[in-house]
Amino acid sequence: MWVLTPAAFAGKLLSVFRQPLSSLWRSLVPLFCWLRATFWLLATKRTKQHLVLRGPDETKEEEEDPPLPTTPTSVNYHFTRQCNYKCGFCFHTAKTSFVLPLEEAKRGLLLLKEAGMEKINFSGGEPFLPDRGEYLGKLVRFCKVELRLPSVSIVSNGSLIRERWFQNYGEYLDILAISCDSFDEEVNVLIGRGQGKKNHVENLQKLRRWCRDYRVAFKINSVINRFNVEEDMTEQIKALNPVRWKVFQCLLIEGENCGEDALREAERFVIGDEEFERFLERHKEVSCLVPESNQKMKDSYLILDEYMRFLNCRKGRKDPSKSILDVGVEEAIKFSGFDEKMFLKRGGKYIWSKADLKLDW
């Protein structure tokens, strides 16, 4: 059978137009028939490529290749749910006091590294609570020295961090993110970030100095809610000059901060999308601002709980997978509900190693 190629087609066409005009029409008929047969042959060949014969009278479409397993590039490990603050909108509350033995936690982190993890973020609860920050410090050092992860970060309320911790572990930490929702101390107390005579804002400034002194990239996380949505934080954020200012819209999670089994009632903190957008517009001059609406937040994080189970938030609650310690990362991550496209869209992949940030310490 002929196969249609540019050379064959040109030859056919040339042979036709070399003939006298009287015989031109007689030559066009077989040419059109030849073209029709050739295209039909190619179409049939493509169709057969998508069919697999199962028997004399039975065919089925060829099965598509299975999707590639999700790579846990960036993982948030909430190894404790305990906290010394009582933020009214908290979406990871103190429902258990469990913390994995240190060696088991290290084993899980090694499994994640072998599965492709590049960044680990330690959070809680308050991660500096267990063993006064020593448990956390040992995990940070393990991830940077033994696993050689490009990025190790922490999210903390900052109230329990001491300079000695920086002296012992600061060199192994890339980013420290401190939660600060307001620069008005009365608002912080209303939210639940008050702790006796300690001033949350003053402590934030002290931590900023320590990050500079011990060469740790400084970041701020703020949850925008009913009590701070009208605040203008532009000047304070610029003065602190964090590498990133993550601005979250207050999010409801069933069983955590809303619903029958919840330890918090966050409904009174919730703001609408338009209110959130107005807050962002007010702070558009802050170049380090990274906004995250409810839609961006919900499925774009890989979250491990205290048992090293991935938490699926697609249905507005946290449904756990089996632990990676029992079934491995590849099996457990199938139930994570992770939306990698949204992870990239919200800027989840960025320059996250302090060696690459080129900061002016």
* Residue linked to tokens 């600060």: 180
87 is catalytic: yes
- Token output for 267: 């409904």
- CB atoms near residue 325 (< 10 Å): 17
Q: Directed axis angle between helix 134-141 and helix 102-114, to 10°?
A: 30
Q: What is the DSSP letter of 57?
A: T
User: In the chain, what's the furthest Cα-to-Cα distance?
Assistant: 106
**CA–CA dist 34, 141 (Å, integer):** 72
**CA–CA dist 277, 267 (Å, integer):** 19
Task: Please pick, among 33, 90, 143, 288, the residue that the annotation labels catalytic.
Answer: 90
90 is catalytic: yes
**CA–CA dist 49, 68 (Å, integer):** 22
180 is catalytic: no
Contacts of 19 (CB under 8 A, 6+ apart): 27
Q: Directed axis angle between helix 21-49 and helix 6-17, to 10°?
A: 160
Task: Please pick, among 87, 143, 250, 313, the residue that the annotation labels catalytic.
Answer: 87
Task: Please pick, among 33, 83, 211, 313, the residue that the annotation labels catalytic.
Answer: 83
**In Å, how far are 47, 250, 326, 332, 349 from 77, measured between CA atoms?**
48, 20, 17, 14, 17
- 289 beta partners: 245
Q: Tell me if 174 sits within 8 A of 354, measured CB to CB.
A: yes
**CA–CA dist 103, 261 (Å, integer):** 32
Catalytic residues: 83, 87, 90
